[in-house]
């Protein structure tokens, strides 16, 4: 059993069992519970790191239960059901240890340049926000708004198949590639959708993502979307999948084009303007400054990363294969989050971009992911890949998890979070390099696998010795440089830190 400690909320649970859960639609485990507990909801909250939310849903007494939920689990057909009873008992055992709320409520409302958001969570411009019905269901589920799939006045020619992925445990996407293009609806069809959504959901934010082929088209599209009821205009300067060389990502790699087309959009609308930029540049700051010169009020970042996810070694074709051929496509999902955080950090720390709204995206699945973007300076977050895999329902744990965190810390509103970690990212010359933080082994937790020894010997500084009889590692502090590779590879979370030493030598 792999048990993980959540140090922020002092919560222990069996992550390996929760990771097995298939997150079923209409979960049979919930239907089978004799006490009518939301078993599926509890497992889903744990899956998305919403520990406080899982605890709040625990209304059943499992000690003497014969676990009919496990018998109902769809994995029971292979005799490997999720050990639901064990997980529920783990949760129940943690209830006395959960932190007391320091605030009764937390205000999750945000804004984009004066446009109010009920919460910071938006659908990003993609297939997940490409029709009236999809946006309606998302709004009803609790999403604050949606960046509609990019509106354009030229026809789209989609390929099939158009997706490929890199998968982790439980078949979950670690990375996701798409070669999809823009909205296949006409401008008139899309603006009618905007009008209908605005009438039925007056408190939701409709972000009209647009792309033109010249200045006149950018101006005209902005004006039409504003007239139809859009709340914000987002300029798609970053789609990597266009057939023409003078659209999408090509614009996002040119300061001159960004400034010119942003100015064209400004001539067509009085709404707030976001420039959606590409990560396929060395430095995004000059592109953001160009957007500001053109009249942008904020930046959306990042769009997808140019990629090839893999090659089918049987057919010897790059993926996804379209009649034996493929193209470079846009990469998203958890794998790109570190890249996205880097760009958000760069933008938020740029002195020339003060007061510009940052809408962050790239690999967000849980409330913790979203919180990291907010802490580095984003004022809202946009999500696609996680919705494609898990559905609009993830909004429950995004809202619940972020609210629970804020209440547990006594943070009344998002202003107490946004940018809170931005100052901790400094230049290479400013990082402290005079001390070594040594690892400390917890032998009670240690299983004696020797993974730390192998990694230190072959990938570190040969500072760990391993006794094969006692199966215990021992640190040689004279050789240790405090890189902490051993802590990262330990499957038992049995290595902590306690000692700091003055760095030896120059």
Residues assigned a catalytic role:
239
Which pair of tokens denotes residue 206? 């409709």
- Residue showing tokens 């430095």: 283
d(CA 344, CA 165): 25
Q: Is 317 helix (H, G, I), strand (E, B) or coil?
A: strand
503 within 8 A of 435, measured Cβ to Cβ = yes
Q: Which of 194, 277, 274, 190 is nearest to 233 (CA)?
A: 274
Query: HEC string of 396-431?
Result: HHHHHHHHHHHHHHCCCEHHHCCCCCHHHCCCHHHC
Q: How far apart are CA 136 and CA 472, in angstroms?
A: 57
Distances from the Cα of 173 to the Cα of 48, 164, 170, 313, 363, angstroms: 14, 10, 9, 20, 10
DSSP 8-state code for residue 304: P
Residue with tokens 């802490």: 375
Q: For residues 144 and 388, what is the distance between their CA atoms, to the nearest angstrom?
A: 18
Cβ neighbours of residue 442 closer than 8 Å, sequence gap 6 or more: 494, 495, 496
Residue 248 in contact with residue 240, Cβ under 8 Å? yes
**CB environment 383-414: b (16+ within 10 A), e (fewer):** bbbbbbbbebbbbbbbbbbbbbbbbbbebeeb
Extract the tokens encoding 165. Answer: 């992925």
């Amino acid at each position: 059993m792999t048990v993980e400690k959540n140090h922020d909320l002092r919560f222990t649970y069996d992550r390996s069992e929760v990771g097995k859960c298939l997150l079923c639609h209409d979960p049979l485990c919930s239907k089978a519970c004799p006490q009518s507990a939301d078993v599926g909801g509890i497992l889903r909250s744990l899956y998305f790191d919403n520990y406080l939310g899982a605890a709040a849903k625990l209304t059943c007494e499992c000690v003497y239960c014969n676990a009919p939920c496990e018998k109902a689990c769809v994995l029971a057909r292979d005799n490997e059901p999720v050990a639901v009873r064990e997980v529920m008992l783990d949760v129940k055992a943690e209830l006395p240890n959960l932190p007391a709320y320091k605030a009764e409520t937390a205000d999750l409302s945000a804004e984009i340049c004066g446009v109010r958001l009920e919460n910071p969570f938006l659908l990003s411009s993609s297939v997940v926000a490409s029709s009236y019905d999809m946006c309606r269901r998302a709004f009803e589920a609790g999403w604050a708004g949606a960046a509609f799939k990019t509106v354009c006045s030229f026809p789209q020619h989609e390929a099939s198949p158009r997706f490929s992925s890199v998968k982790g445990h439980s078949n979950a996407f670690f990375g996701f590639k798409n070669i999809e293009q823009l909205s296949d609806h006409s401008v008139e069809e899309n603006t009618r959708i905007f009008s209908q959504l605005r009438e039925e959901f007056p408190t939701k934010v409709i972000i009209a993502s647009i792309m033109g082929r010249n200045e006149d088209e950018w101006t005209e599209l902005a004006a039409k979307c504003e007239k139809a009821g859009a709340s914000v205009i987002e300029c798609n300067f970053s789609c990597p999948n266009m057939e023409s060389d003078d659209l999408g990502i090509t614009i996002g790699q040119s300061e001159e084009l960004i400034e010119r087309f942003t100015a064209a959009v400004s001539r067509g609308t009085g709404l707030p303007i976001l420039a959606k930029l590409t990560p396929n540049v060395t430095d995004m700051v000059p592109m953001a400054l160009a957007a500001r010169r053109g009249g942008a009020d904020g930046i959306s970042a990042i769009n997808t990363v140019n990629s090839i996810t893999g090659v089918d070694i049987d057919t010897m074709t790059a993926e996804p294969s379209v009649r034996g051929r493929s193209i470079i496509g846009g990469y998203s999902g958890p794998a790109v989050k570190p890249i996205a955080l880097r760009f958000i950090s760069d933008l938020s720390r740029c002195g020339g971009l003060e007061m510009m709204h940052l809408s962050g995206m790239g690999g967000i699945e849980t409330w913790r992911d979203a919180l990291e973007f907010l802490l580095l300076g984003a004022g809202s977050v946009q999500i696609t890949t996680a919705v494609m895999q898990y559905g609009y329902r993830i909004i429950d744990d995004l809202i619940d998890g972020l609210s629970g965190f804020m209440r547990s810390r006594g943070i009344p509103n998002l202003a107490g979070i946004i940018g809170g970690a931005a100052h901790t990212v400094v230049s290479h010359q400013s990082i402290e390099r005079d001390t070594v933080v040594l690892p400390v082994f917890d032998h009670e937790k240690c299983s004696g696998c020797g993974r730390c020894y192998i990694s230190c010997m072959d990938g570190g500084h040969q500072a760990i010795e391993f006794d094969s009889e006692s199966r215990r590692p021992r640190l040689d502090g004279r050789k240790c440089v405090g890189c902490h590779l051993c802590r990262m590879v330990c499957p038992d979370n049995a290595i902590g830190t306690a000692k700091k030493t003055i760095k030896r030598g120059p």
